[in-house]
Structure formats: C-alpha cells, structure tokens
A = this chain, B = another copy of it.
C-alpha cells in the first residue's frame, strides 16, 4: 500500500504486535467462560492471535476474580472458571413437597400420644404388628416424638413421648386433651358399634386413661 519505509515499520509493528495484555485478558476470560472443558495454556495460545501470552493474561485474570462469585482455577494442567465454593448453596433450589403421613406412622404416633411414655414393645402390642425402625425414625425426624425416660424394667427400654412441636401441629395444649375412646365414639368418630358380646372396651378405656394420667403426672 504505502512505499514509505517508516510507515511500513509502524504498520508492521501494529500488524504483528500482540494485542495489549488487557485485551489478552479479555480473550482468556471469554475462552474460559465458553469452554465446556478446562483449557490448557497451549490451547489458548492456538486460539489467540499470534504473540499472545495467555499465561501472563491468566495471572491478571486470576487476580481480577479473587474474592468474586466465580474463580479462575487450575484443573490439572488446564484452567477453568468455577463457582466460588462458599456460594455452592446457590446452586440448589429447595422445593417443599407435602405428603400425607403413612397409616403405620399415624397409628404409631397416635399410640405414643395416647399412651406416652410408651416403649416400642408396647406400641407393637397395641398395634398388633411390628413397628418398623423407619416409622419411628421418621417421627423422630419430624420432631413430633422424642425419647422419654427409660423404663425401669429389665432391659431398661427407651420410651417415646410426643413433643411440643406435635402439640403445636395438632393445636393441642397437652396430650391429655386428646379425647378418649368413649368421646370419640360419642362424636361419631368410630364407624362401628362394638359387637354384642365382644369384650367391652370400658376396660380398655380405663387403661388408656390410667396410662395417660400416669404419664402426665410429673
């Protein structure tokens, strides 16, 4: 284009000189951002204009991201941008799903509420079936039941009692406010009448009541 040597010199210099380091830093930034895999210095060099020094640009870039929400990290021989570890919690979204308590769990809970403090063996006796470990764990985790005092009987079994959280959930002042069987029946909450001749549940009732009053005397 121009024959004048001094102009050529200048032109050549601009043509072949590497971009300023700030510009190189931008390039490295864009490359690291868009790459699915960590990028080696060599790979950066291949992609950047002739004469670039990605290693030096990286030093600047790394500094720039110090303390930021993302960081420039070395992965083996390559480089990548990663979320700052202290912000990992942002990468999850909590969704709350409400489910009905299983029949086993609600029955176990009911027995504990009516008979507390009650041992696992006693729960099983009342329910007539074994109580799975998972059911108890679930209720403990929900913080609706907790461990009570150990029973002073052979084996010193642990007992379960209901918690304040349980009372709050069911809007009860205390477990004593739970209606007895007779009241449940009077309120039509029992679908059944006792069979004629079947042993009356009066005793049951009494027992439950006794159990309860015992429990709540402290």
Contact = CB atoms under 8 A, between A and B. Distances in A.
Interface residues of A, number: 26
A187 interface: no
Contacts of A30: 69-70, 83-84, 87, 90-91
Contacts of A107: none
Given A34-B83, A83-B34, A29 B70 contact: yes
A48 B90 contact: yes
A69 B35 contact: no
Contacts of A26: 67-69, 84, 87
A94 interface: yes
Contacts of A29: 68-70
A94 B27 CA distance: 14
A109 interface: no
Contacts of A81: 33
Contacts of A35: 93-94
B94 A34 contact: yes
A46 interface: yes
A83 B47 contact: no
Contacts of A68: 26, 29
5 contacts: A27-B69, A29-B70, A30-B84, A33-B70, A47-B90
